[in-house]
């Protein structure tokens, strides 16, 4: 089975903001110590996600993806069980990746992560990039991914440094 580009793109996990009460405007994310700690935790989980893809560590995804996790970015919607199954069935190696941009905005127990990730292609010096948004929720003291949306950029990646 060929590598699903969205599956590979899901190397980074991100979160979304809380819906404000009716008639209110959303409060901007605060850079307090709790938000900073949450952002660090999510960045740590993103690194573990990359390692888990290479190792095909389904236990990591079993505990890190919420049961109703969805992956989008093309014509299909992929659920948590489908994501894990595709990971197991994939015979291809996952391409190397590096985060180019990543912003975590924390709103209580919800976080929105947006960014850009660059991938190298095996046997090629032409990398490609993906713009992404992921939604994380904090439940029972731990962050879990609820949703990931990945858009491949159609132009080759420029030489960048993170």
Q: Give the confidence band of 32 by pLDDT, cuts at 50, 70, 90.
A: confident
pLDDT higher than 70, residue 7: no
Arithmetic mean of pLDDT, 78-100: 87
Dihedral angle computed from the Cα positions of residues 118, 120, 124 and 129, in that order, rounded to the nearest 10 degrees: -20
Determine the Cα angle at 39 with ends 78 and 145, to 5°. 15
5-17+33-152 CATH choice from 3.40.50.360, 3.40.50.720, 3.10.450.50, 1.10.3210.10: 3.10.450.50
What is the pLDDT at residue 94? 74
What is the pLDDT at residue 155? 65
Helix ranges (DSSP H) in the chain: 5-9, 33-55, 58-64, 80-89
Q: Give CA–CA dist 57/87, Å, rounded.
A: 9
What is the rounded average pLDDT for all residues in the chain? 78
pTM beyond cutoff 0.85: no
**Between 73 and 158, whose confidence is greater?**
73
65-74 pLDDT, tens digit per residue, is 999 999 999 8
Categorise residue 100: left if φ over 0, alpha if ψ from -120 to 50, beta otherwise.
alpha
Q: What percent of the chain has pLDDT over 70?
A: 72
pLDDT higher than 50, residue 8: no
93-128 pLDDT, tens digit per residue, is 777 778 889 999 999 999 999 999 888 755 555 678
2, 5, 37 from 87: Cα distances, Å = 11, 11, 30
pLDDT higher than 50, residue 18: no
Determine the number of helices (DSSP H) and then strands (DSSP E) in the chain: 4, 6
As given in the structure block, the two tokens for residue 80 are 């948590």
Q: Lowest-confidence range among 24-28, 98-102, 154-158? A: 24-28
Arithmetic mean of pLDDT, 74-102: 88
């Amino acid at each position: 089975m060929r590598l699903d580009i969205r599956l590979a793109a899901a190397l980074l996990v991100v979160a979304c903001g809380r819906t404000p009460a009716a008639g209110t405007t959303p409060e901007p994310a605060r850079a307090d110590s709790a938000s900073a700690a949450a952002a660090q935790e999510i960045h740590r989980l993103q690194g573990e996600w990359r390692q888990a893809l290479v190792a095909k560590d389904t236990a990591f995804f079993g505990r890190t993806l919420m049961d109703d996790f969805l992956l989008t970015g093309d014509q299909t919607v992929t659920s948590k069980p489908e994501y894990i199954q595709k990971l197991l069935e994939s015979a291809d190696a996952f391409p190397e990746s590096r985060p180019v941009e990543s912003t975590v905005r924390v709103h209580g127990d919800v976080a929105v992560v947006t960014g850009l990730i660059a991938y190298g292609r095996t046997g090629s010096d032409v990398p490609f990039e993906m713009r992404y948004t992921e939604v994380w929720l904090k439940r029972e003291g731990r962050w879990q991914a609820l949703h990931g949306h990945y858009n491949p950029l159609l132009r080759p990646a420029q030489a960048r440094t993170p």
